[in-house]
Chain A
């Protein structure tokens, strides 16, 4: 029994390590783009894709308006633009049920801890869309009151420029984010994203 070589193990959580008996066995390490390769990679990649497809097409944004951009965000979900065509219309008012935070507007230093708390309350996986110039870099208001870019407090996945961006631009941002979600690694650890802290 002990002499028979072990068959290569497949399945989630099991790693088939290269051994003297099986020098050809491959370790299923994720490639730099997050996909699995190797013996178990085939199965994982299929699941990964399916989950990614499902996640990308059922984004639930957090209903969280800050300033002017929030009006365009509402316009995006209302008549004429109708973001539900792209599967991102279920605005949730509770961060516990949302997976996309659209930072729509300028973030003041008074608001920053609240925003960070909302982000922390959202379950993984979660994404952040920085909508408009103010959220991305504080826009025309480079001053004491605003956080100079929301990426200092939460990790941002996609920036949409404009002041405010047209609803089409936000929809475009969401479509690009969907592509990103779909091709991202769905299981295991995502790329390390260390958020910066707010400095007054």
Chain B
């Protein structure tokens, strides 16, 4: 492995090694930059430093056990990972239309909360890379509120594993609605604060405007997803085009931009946070009418019976035992579950061979495709812009390397 930090080539350019330990590569990304003076001539990303073998490990666990492993792929929004895997399994078990409505609404609320949390981390670290420390501190403050909500419902701050095939692990506790409502009340003024610090800040504008431009054609060619794709003028959002968990009932806009530069990606994400607040408000309205309803499908072959039932009925106990020891068994087949994660189309592809363990699980990582376009963004630009470009595509190495 070449770990030299500088190497001079025959043509007079210089090879600069950036990463895997670098504060602005957002993880363990390694970039080989070929520089002519301060201009990037070539850029070769090197990934795999966080390869965890999650997909292989899932093949050795049953369908329920595998849920826990999905959390740590895209570790900025673990709930989206859970959900995309669970959606694929629900298609595989043929119960996608039977999931209770209360579970669907809570799923939507949690997904949007995790979208805000992920965008807050992105905004904080992106701004920090560009020299704005205050925004970092502000964003982390708000993120702590979201994590405390996650902790409130599941007991864990980040890796909640809250989704189950056919619904949720448990109902949300008393007081969930009030806490979420309090958070979404407080967030919009705070987004105004971030915008006041960045949106018209001349330093920020200089470092983001017309930097890392990606045209619509290039964005399609490289298979970009999510805010990066929408910032290049493509209006594609899985929540609108392939609605899941009842997203078709929510009224929200999909922000997009035709600029295609770092600033456009910033604006799209900030506006997405505001839209998420809108969705959460509507979700809370819906949740009011669903008090006390089921949060998990009543199918003892697939979903765990409730704790009270296990205490009372022998049959439930046997089902519970079977589900724990053996797990649910789907028909042979394959299914692709998708959702719009904070980084774009997050898909999980599950192959079943009719046994109790998935034959193959594949994550479709949006960051994998977004990062592939990075050379396109940085070639011909200054070294300092590389940092802005990496920040703007919002990569999470956990999902890229899996």
Q: So, do A and B actually touch in the complex, CB under 8 Å?
A: yes
Residues of A within 8 A of B (CB): 62-68, 70-72, 74-75, 78-80, 93, 95, 105-106, 108, 110-111, 113-114, 117-118, 140-146, 163-164, 166
Give the distance to chain A from B7, nearest Cβ to Cβ, in Å. Answer: 17
Bound Cα distance from A110 to B1, whole angstroms: 10
Contact A166 B157 (CB under 8 A): yes
**Is B144 within 8 A of A79, CB to CB?**
yes
Query: Which chain A positions have C-beta within 8 A of B22?
Result: 93
Quick check: A164 and B136 within 8 Å, CB to CB? no
List the B residue with the shortest CB-CB distance to A68.
B75
If A63-B23, A78-B140 are given as contacts, then 8 extra A-B residue pairs at C-beta distance below 8 Å, sorted by A number, are A67-B50, A67-B72, A67-B397, A68-B75, A93-B22, A108-B48, A141-B53, A166-B157
Residues of B within 8 A of A (CB): 1, 3, 20-23, 27-28, 48-54, 56-57, 68-69, 72, 75-76, 121, 124-125, 136-138, 140-141, 143-144, 157-159, 397-398, 401
A114 proximity list for chain B (CB < 8 A)? 1, 3, 20-21, 28, 49
- Whether A79 and B140, one on each chain, are in contact in the complex, defined by CB atoms closer than 8 angstroms, is yes
Q: Is the CB of A71 within 8 A of B52?
A: no
Q: Are A141 and B140 in contact (CB under 8 A)?
A: no
B137 engages A146 (CB within 8 Å): no
Residues of B within 8 A of A108 (CB): 48-52, 401
Interchain CB contact under 8 A, A80 and B141: yes
Tell me the smallest distance from the CB of A174 to a CB of chain B, in Å.
Answer: 18
Pairwise interchain contact A75-B143, C-beta atoms closer than 8 A: yes
A62 to B22, CA, bound (A): 11
Do residues B68 and A64 form an inter-chain contact, with CB atoms below 8 A?
no
Report which of B20, B21, B48, B398 forms a contact with A68, defined as CB distance below 8 A: B398
What residues on B are CB-neighbors of A67 within 8 Å?
Answer: 27, 50, 52, 72, 75, 397-398
Bound complex: CA A66 to CA B50 (Å): 7
Q: State how many angstroms separate the Cβ of A200 from the closest Cβ of chain B.
A: 13
Q: Are B23 and A93 in contact (CB under 8 A)?
A: yes
Contact B141 A146 (CB under 8 A): no
B69 / chain A contacts, CB cutoff of 8 Å:
140-141
Q: Kindly state the separation between the CA atoms of A164 and B76 in the bound complex, as whole angstroms.
A: 12
Q: Are B28 and A66 in contact (CB under 8 A)?
A: yes
B138: chain A residues at CB < 8 Å are 79
Specify which chain B residues have a CB less than 8 angstroms from the CB of A111 in the assembled complex.
20, 28, 49-50
**What are 14 inter-chain pairs, A to B, with CB distance below 8 A?**
A62-B21, A66-B27, A68-B72, A68-B75, A68-B398, A79-B144, A110-B51, A111-B49, A117-B3, A118-B21, A140-B68, A141-B54, A141-B72, A144-B53
Given A67-B27, A70-B27, A80-B141, residue A141 in contact with residue B158 (CB < 8 A): no
Residue of A nearest to B69 (CB): A140
Contact B27 A65 (CB under 8 A): yes
Contacts of B23 in A (CB 8 A): 63, 93
Residues of chain B lying within 8 A (CB to CB) of residue A146:
52-53
Q: Which residues of A contact B159 (CB under 8 A)?
A: 68, 163-164
Query: In the complex, what distance in Å separates the CA atom of A123 from the CA atom of B380?
Result: 38
**Do A79 and B141 touch (CB < 8 A)?**
yes
Known contacts: A75-B144, A164-B159. The answer to whether A145 contacts B51 by CB under 8 A is yes
Q: Which residue of A lies closest to B151 (CB)?
A: A166
Contact A78 B75 (CB under 8 A): no
Tell me how far the C-beta of A79 lies from the nearest C-beta in chain B, rounded to whole angstroms.
4
CB distance from A32 to the nearest CB of B (A): 37
* Contact between B21 and A105, CB atoms less than 8 A apart: no
Q: Give Cα A63 to B128, complex, Å.
A: 14
Q: Measured between alpha carbons, how far is A67 from B158 in the docked complex, in Å?
A: 12
A71 to B157 Cα, complex, angstroms: 11
* Distance, CA A164 to CA B28, complexed state (A): 18
Min CB distance A166 to B, Å, is 6
Determine how close the nearest CB of chain A comes to the CB of B32; give it in whole angstroms. 14
**A75–B158 Cα gap in the complex (Å)?**
12
User: Which B residue's beta carbon lies closest to that of A91?
Assistant: B23
Q: When chains A and B are docked, how far (Å) is the Cα of A117 from the Cα of B49? A: 14
> Could you tell me the distance in whole angstroms from the C-beta of B333 to the nearest C-beta in chain A?
26
User: Closest residue of chain A to B72, judged by CB?
Assistant: A68
- Chain A residues with CB under 8 Å of B397's CB are 67
Residues of B contacting A63 with CB < 8 Å?
A: 23
Query: Cα distance A191–B29 when bound, in Å?
Result: 35
Q: Tell me, in angstroms, the Cα distance from A56 to B143 when the chains sit together.
A: 30
Distance in angstroms between the alpha carbons of A63 and B20 in the assembled complex: 12
Q: A115: nearest residue on chain B (CB-CB)? A: B21
Complex Cα–Cα for A66 and B143 (A): 20
Alpha-carbon distance between A178 and B339 when the two chains are bound, in angstroms: 45
Q: Given the complex of chains A and B, what is the CA–CA distance between A93 and B24 in angstroms?
A: 10
Which of B48, B50, B76, B140 is within 8 Å of A106, CB to CB?
B50
CA distance A110 to B125 in the complex (A): 25
What's the nearest-Cβ distance from chain B to residue A141, in Å? 5
Question: CB-nearest residue of chain B relative to A82?
Answer: B137
State how many angstroms separate the Cβ of A122 from the closest Cβ of chain B: 12
Complex: A80 Cα to B72 Cα, angstroms: 24
Name the B residues within 8 Å of A142 (CB-CB): 57
What is the minimal beta-carbon distance from A129 to any residue of chain B, in angstroms? 16
The smallest C-beta distance from B375 to any residue of chain A, in angstroms, reads 21
Chain A hits for B28, CB < 8 A: 65-66, 111, 114
User: Taking CB as reference atom, which chain A residue is nearest B53?
Assistant: A145
Beta-carbon nearest neighbor of A143 in chain B: B53
Q: How far is the CB of B401 from chain A (nearest CB, A)?
A: 8
Indicate if the CB atoms of A78 and B136 lie closer than 8 Å. Answer: yes
A95 to chain B, nearest CB (A): 8
